[in-house]
């Protein structure tokens, strides 16, 4: 619907995607819209189905004829148009450059890293990037690949770190410092002395634990930095309130109090084990307000929307019967658990649940005979001759036990104790077909690895965090246009066990803590 005010011939059209308004002058004679031009306006035009527009920029008429959207894009992107980035990445670069703070919440493997690097190159100045330890060298490699920026890996011994800082800053050897949140916490007084112009926090969902010392270190550093950007494909890991830490980092003045934040948007009730639990949105109005705020300050792209060639992930759950001695031990552990449950607090409950999960998935760690899951993997390898396989588990000790039982000799393993170089070696061998099986710890392999030579992933067990599971699944999904590999996700579960309960939790993206807090009768839940 188009409306107008006759005095200024201003036309307003509603964006059907979010209800926002786009205004500008319109000529009946030529059928032209004349609008202030920026990236936000360009996105509005896409949504409204307008493909040509007359544009004013820098106070001067750009052209006397209609300008097609593609032409606008070419002018807006300038030197970036031949950068190798996809069109949506170019839009995202401009979104970042034109905002002092923003969330880049695109799904995994949509190219958040090169997008951010290109934006940093345009912004200029000195940069500090805080990321997981496993991604430090990956950031350094990607910065060197995509830009002329000069990265420095601020890791290793303190002497090594401080020696590198002497060469850091504009006009010096390095202008991008890449470090871990643990190192940041340790060296915060030193790093605060440097005049960083931009802060990037990768895998920023860890800020949901806003009271942790690591989060507090990020918050303290961010207050003195003009530009702040948070990258994560899962800004709300378990609940929308998880986003408070990210919001506080981006705009600490607006989001200064977690309590005020939760009271405004969510119902808050007393928790079963003490404290309080944040529940659903207070009402639809508050939910809409919250979502609009997030939409304004962030980019949120889904892989399926920007990479339409991607194959759908297919899921299969396979039931296995426990071995007789395994079942006997499971029942015994379960009975002992409930005999003592009157004195259990939430952490103790979670610890007991973890032991039950280990017993079903990798009984070998309890010095029990080989369980059914290792046998299944051997059978799969026999029945799928020549195909490569990725196996995920939370328990590295269990993966070691399984490795010993596999009949296949070409087996590699990725764990949290390895260096990046060691992990990269296994990935390269797997992608080159020199390894048939790659056994992976979920947390160690969830980000930064491409394993798309495999079409199948087997989960021996799932991580409590749904985001970790999704990231692990995506390791085998090819993101190169034209690839046609399938993506089969197999969950192995033991019949009549905790496996089903945990799988239900993670597939419905719930929190195990939430479940424990709400299941006062754990025995009934586990039965």
- Determine the pLDDT at residue 270: 59
- Determine the pLDDT at residue 26: 58
Across the range 73-95, mean pLDDT stands at 70
Across the range 257-284, mean pLDDT stands at 76
Examine the pLDDT at 13 and tell me if it is beyond 50.
no
CATH at residue 365: 3.40.50.300
Domain that holds residue 34: 2-76
Please tell me whether residues 300 and 317 are part of one structural domain.
no
**For residue range 299-342, what is the model confidence (pLDDT) as tens digits?**
988 877 777 666 677 889 999 999 999 999 988 888 887 775 55
- Determine the pLDDT at residue 440: 93
Please tell me whether residues 45 and 159 are part of one structural domain.
no
Please tell me whether residues 283 and 424 are part of one structural domain.
no
Please tell me whether residues 319 and 437 are part of one structural domain.
yes
Examine the pLDDT at 17 and tell me if it is beyond 50.
no
- Determine the pLDDT at residue 15: 45
Contacts of 208 (CB under 8 A, 6+ apart): 237, 238, 242, 243, 244, 245, 246
Please tell me whether residues 412 and 500 are part of one structural domain.
yes
Please tell me whether residues 126 and 249 are part of one structural domain.
yes
Average per-residue pLDDT for the chain: 79
**For residue range 162-221, what is the model confidence (pLDDT) as tens digits?**
888 888 876 678 899 999 999 999 999 999 988 899 999 999 999 999 999 999 999 999
Going by pLDDT thresholds of 50, 70 and 90, the confidence category of residue 56 is very low
DSSP 8-state code for residue 168: B
**Which pair of tokens denotes residue 470?**
């999704």
Examine the pLDDT at 519 and tell me if it is beyond 70.
no
Gap between the Cα atoms of 416 and 149, Å rounded: 29
Contact 299, 108 (CB under 8 A): no
Inside any domain, residue 81: no
Examine the pLDDT at 489 and tell me if it is beyond 60.
yes
Last-in-domain residue among 76, 104, 127 = 76
Last-in-domain residue among 304, 335, 350 = 304
Please tell me whether residues 492 and 396 are part of one structural domain.
yes
Gap between the Cα atoms of 476 and 487, Å rounded: 7
Inside any domain, residue 179: yes
**For residue range 86-106, what is the model confidence (pLDDT) as tens digits?**
888 888 998 999 899 999 999
- Determine the pLDDT at residue 113: 92
Inside any domain, residue 259: yes
- Burial-class residue 450 by CB neighbours within 10 Å (0-12, 13-18, 19+): middle
Inside any domain, residue 409: yes
Please tell me whether residues 333 and 411 are part of one structural domain.
yes
Please tell me whether residues 67 and 96 are part of one structural domain.
no
Inside any domain, residue 520: yes
Inside any domain, residue 402: yes
- Determine the pLDDT at residue 308: 67
Please tell me whether residues 253 and 395 are part of one structural domain.
no
Last-in-domain residue among 304, 337, 367 = 304
Inside any domain, residue 468: yes
Examine the pLDDT at 68 and tell me if it is beyond 70.
no
DSSP-derived pairing of the beta strands 21-27 and 32-36: antiparallel
Gap between the Cα atoms of 446 and 460, Å rounded: 15
Going by pLDDT thresholds of 50, 70 and 90, the confidence category of residue 143 is very high
CATH at residue 280: 3.40.50.10810
- In order of 146, 233, 240, 368, 499, the CA distances from 105 in angstroms are 20, 5, 13, 44, 31
**For residue range 417-470, what is the model confidence (pLDDT) as tens digits?**
888 788 889 999 999 999 999 999 988 876 667 888 888 999 999 988 777 888
Residue listed under structure tokens 């959207």: 69
Query: Closest by alpha carbon to 301, among 205, 204, 393, 231?
Result: 231
Please tell me whether residues 294 and 323 are part of one structural domain.
no
Contact 437, 408 (CB under 8 A): yes
Strand partners, 60: 57
The total domain count for the chain is 3
**For residue range 30-46, what is the model confidence (pLDDT) as tens digits?**
655 555 444 445 545 55
Give exposure, 89-112, as e/b (b: 16+ Cβ within 10 Å): bbbbbbbbbebebbbbbbbbbbbb
Inside any domain, residue 474: yes
Please tell me whether residues 90 and 45 are part of one structural domain.
no
- Percent with pLDDT over 70 in the chain: 74
Examine the pLDDT at 286 and tell me if it is beyond 60.
yes
**For residue range 495-508, what is the model confidence (pLDDT) as tens digits?**
988 898 888 877 77
């Amino acid at each position: 619907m188009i409306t107008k005010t006759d005095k200024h011939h201003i036309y307003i059209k509603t964006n059907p995607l979010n209800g926002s308004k786009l205004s500008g002058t319109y000529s009946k004679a030529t059928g032209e819209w004349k609008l202030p031009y920026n990236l936000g306006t360009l996105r509005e035009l896409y949504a409204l189905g307008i493909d040509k527009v007359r544009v004013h920029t820098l106070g001067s008429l750009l052209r006397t004829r209609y300008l097609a959207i593609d032409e606008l894009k070419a002018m807006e992107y300038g030197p970036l148009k031949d950068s190798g980035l996809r069109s949506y990445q170019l839009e995202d670069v401009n979104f970042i450059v034109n905002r002092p703070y923003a969330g880049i919440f695109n799904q995994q493997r949509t190219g958040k890293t090169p997008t951010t690097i290109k934006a940093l190159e345009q912004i200029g100045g000195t940069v500090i990037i805080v990321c997981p330890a496993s991604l430090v060298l990956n950031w350094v490699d990607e910065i060197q690949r995509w830009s002329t920026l000069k990265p420095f890996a601020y890791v290793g011994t303190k002497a090594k770190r401080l020696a590198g800082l002497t060469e850091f800053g504009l006009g010096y050897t390095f202008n991008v410092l890449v470090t871990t949140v643990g190192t940041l916490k340790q060296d915060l007084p030193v790093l605060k002395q440097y005049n960083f112009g931009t802060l990037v926090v990768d895998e920023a969902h860890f800020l949901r634990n806003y009271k942790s010392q690591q989060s507090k270190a990020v918050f303290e550093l961010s207050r003195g930095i003009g530009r702040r950007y948070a990258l994560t494909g899962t800004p709300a890991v378990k609940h929308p309130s998880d986003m408070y830490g990210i919001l506080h980092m981006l705009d600490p003045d607006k989001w200064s109090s977690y309590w005020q934040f939760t009271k405004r948007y969510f119902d808050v009730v007393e928790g079963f084990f003490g404290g309080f639990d944040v529940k659903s949105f207070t009402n639809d109005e508050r939910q809409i307000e919250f979502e609009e705020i997030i939409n304004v300050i962030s980019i949120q792209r889904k892989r399926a929307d920007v990479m339409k060639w991607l194959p759908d992930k297919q899921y299969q759950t396979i039931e296995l019967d426990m071995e007789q001695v395994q079942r006997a031990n499971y029942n015994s552990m379960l009975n002992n658990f409930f005999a003592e449950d009157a004195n259990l607090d939430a952490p103790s409950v979670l610890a007991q649940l973890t032991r039950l999960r280990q017993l079903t998935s990798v009984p070998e760690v309890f010095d029990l005979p080989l369980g059914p899951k290792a046998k299944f993997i051997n059978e799969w390898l026999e029945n799928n001759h020549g195909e490569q396989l990725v196996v995920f588990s939370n328990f590295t000790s269990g993966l070691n036990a399984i490795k010993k039982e596999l009949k296949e000799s070409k087996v590699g393993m990725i764990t949290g104790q390895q260096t990046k170089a060691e992990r990269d070696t296994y990935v390269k061998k797997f992608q080159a077909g020199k390894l048939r099986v790659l056994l992976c710890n979920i947390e160690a392999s969830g980000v930064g690895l491409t394993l798309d030579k495999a079409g199948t992933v087997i989960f021996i067990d799932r991580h409590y965090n749904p985001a970790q599971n999704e990231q692990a699944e995506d390791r085998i999904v090819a993101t190169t246009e034209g690839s046609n590999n399938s993506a089969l996700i197999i969950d192995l579960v033991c019949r009549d066990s905790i496996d089903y309960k945990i799988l239900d939790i993670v597939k419905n993206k719930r929190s195990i803590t939430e479940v424990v807090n709400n299941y006062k009768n754990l025995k009934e839940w586990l039965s």
